Amino acid sequence: MYFIVGLGNPGAKYEGTRHNVGFEVVDRLADRAGIRISDKKFKARIGRGTFGGRDCLLMLPQTFMNLSGESVGPAVGFFKEKAEHVVVVHDELDLPVGGIRLKRGGGHGGHNGLKSLVQHLGPQFLRVRVGIGRPPPRWDASSYVLGRFAPDERSAVDPALDEAVEAIEVTITEGIDRAMNRFHRQPDAKATGSGE
């Protein structure tokens, strides 16, 4: 079984923020796969079903970002799965708005959600990184990630979210190496001018 985990913060206050793109991707995947994320278990909203012919558990941790591992770790342990079957979708400051990169393992790069997951799972889980760009000069990073996209940024992000869903499908059906070859996406430069 694969765990598809979107990182974000729970509650209406955080909907549509840069930090919640992981939630948005998993919600889109659920719509596409016909999986209802309606159960509450492991400190998360979860839904189980089939995607790409694979048995999947979709997870939206409700612990707040910094404690995501407290949700995902016990779930993976309960099902006795390995970290290599955990696909985590998260925002990435070091990618331009709308960029996508996939990665196997590694550190947390200062991302508190990833830091918590590494503490509870080890570093070997798979990552789908969705670019949100760096904050403009003199912007506080925490305020930036908890803010919402400008309209021109949103026009770059929305296609990236759909492409991230496709990248997850290829990752779990054909392997992450093939997915990395296909989905290292560079956004349209004209659509991301506001963050420069």
Q: Are 162 and 130 in contact (CB under 8 A)?
A: no
Q: What's the predicted TM-score (pTM) here? A: 0.91
Instruction: Spot the catalytic one: 19, 85, 90, 111.
Output: 19
Angstrom distance (rounded) from CA 35 to CA 152 = 30
Strands 126-131 and 100-104: antiparallel
88 beta partners: 5, 127
pLDDT tens for the 196 residues of the chain, in order: 999 999 999 999 999 999 999 999 999 999 999 999 999 999 999 999 999 999 999 999 999 999 999 999 999 999 999 999 999 999 999 999 999 999 998 887 778 899 999 999 999 999 999 999 999 888 888 899 999 999 999 999 999 999 999 999 999 999 999 999 998 766 655 444 443 3
Q: Is 19 a catalytic residue?
A: yes
Per-residue confidence (pLDDT) for residue 117, from 0 to 100:
96
